[in-house]
Copies of this chain bind each other. A is one copy, B any other.
Amino acid sequence: MHPLDKALELESAGDDLLRGRTLPEWANMVGPFGGITAATMLQAVELNPQRHGRPIALTVNYVAPIADGDFEIKTRAVKTNRSNQHWIVELSQAGEVKTTATAIFGLRRDGWSDTEIEQPQVCAPEDVEPSVPPFGVAWFDNFDMRFVDGGMPDAANDPVESASSTSTLWVRNNPPRPLDFVALTAVSDIFYPRIFLRRGQFVPAGTVSISVYFHADDEQLAAQGDDFLLGTARAHRYSGGYFDQSARLFGRDGTLLATSHQFVYFKA
């Protein structure tokens, strides 16, 4: 089974309650990779028989580190409207909430459409070397990341500060896997903390909240197959121990699939 799907395996543990577990292959410095946690929160709604429509918007709040082992996810349909549905989702371990989320699912309708931004003009992923993560964190191995701009600092060198916080990379699951909403959610959190790039070194940092807006429908996601996506992210302000970062995820065909924003704690 693909490591993404393995992480998203949830079993019923009662009404609106699912049970899952952390996997060593998704481990981050502390707890699992935030992107897999976000995808798991979305998956919990996907699996609820009351679910109406497809993912529209998701916000995930990282409340406390998830310990290795089992967790429970409680999903609650707050309200089902004609065209959309609002959810509150909570992930707990031993009765303690570790992650909260709100999700909006809904029906998409055809109508006027336009995209105002274009994907950055960069080399094809085949012409970029796969990036080697600068230190051993398990979850990196689940993605093939090819940075065309703003790669990770090299911890072996003296810090080199960067005036820009922008990273742009080709990314896909490793091994490749067809794109869907859960996979897109995981990739939305692929961008390492922008403070690392600005400061040219690793500092304590962790996302407190991430929001994902899904611009694509099932058909547009399916059209990407298991191909690379092009992601780009930047920050706007660092102050008081927090900074924001905003990301855009394009298909190789230029379709803007998702925009994502997060607020990150840091110490530097």
Contact = CB atoms under 8 A, between A and B. Distances in A.
A213 interface: yes
A64 B236 CA distance: 32
A14 interface: no
Nearest to A241: B109
A267 B106 CA distance: 14
A265 B96 CA distance: 35
A88 B88 contact: yes
Interface stretch (A97-105, A123-131, A144-152, A182-190): A97-105
A6 interface: no
Nearest to A108: B240
A202 B71 CA distance: 47
Contacts of A86: 61, 63, 97, 100
Given A104-B208, A259-B244, A261-B211, A97 B78 contact: yes
Contacts of A90: 78
A213 B263 contact: yes
A2 interface: no
Greatest chain B CB density within 10 A among A90, A213, A236, A241 is at A213
Interface in A99-144: 100, 102, 104, 106, 108-117
Contacts of A64: 79, 81
A199 interface: yes
A115 to B, nearest CB: 5
Contacts of A75: none
B256 A61 contact: no
A166 to B, nearest CB: 9
A173 interface: no
A116 B235 contact: yes
Contacts of A59: 59, 61, 102, 209, 211
- Among A63, A78, A239, A268: residue with most chain B CB under 10 A: A239
Given A97-B79, A111-B267, A259-B244, A104 B239 contact: no
Nearest to A217: B240
Given A64-B79, A78-B90, A108-B242, 8 more contacts: A59-B211, A63-B78, A86-B100, A106-B208, A110-B240, A113-B239, A215-B237, A237-B256
18 contacts: A56-B242, A59-B61, A59-B102, A63-B81, A84-B265, A86-B97, A100-B102, A104-B209, A113-B237, A113-B238, A115-B236, A115-B238, A116-B235, A211-B211, A215-B236, A215-B237, A215-B239, A261-B261
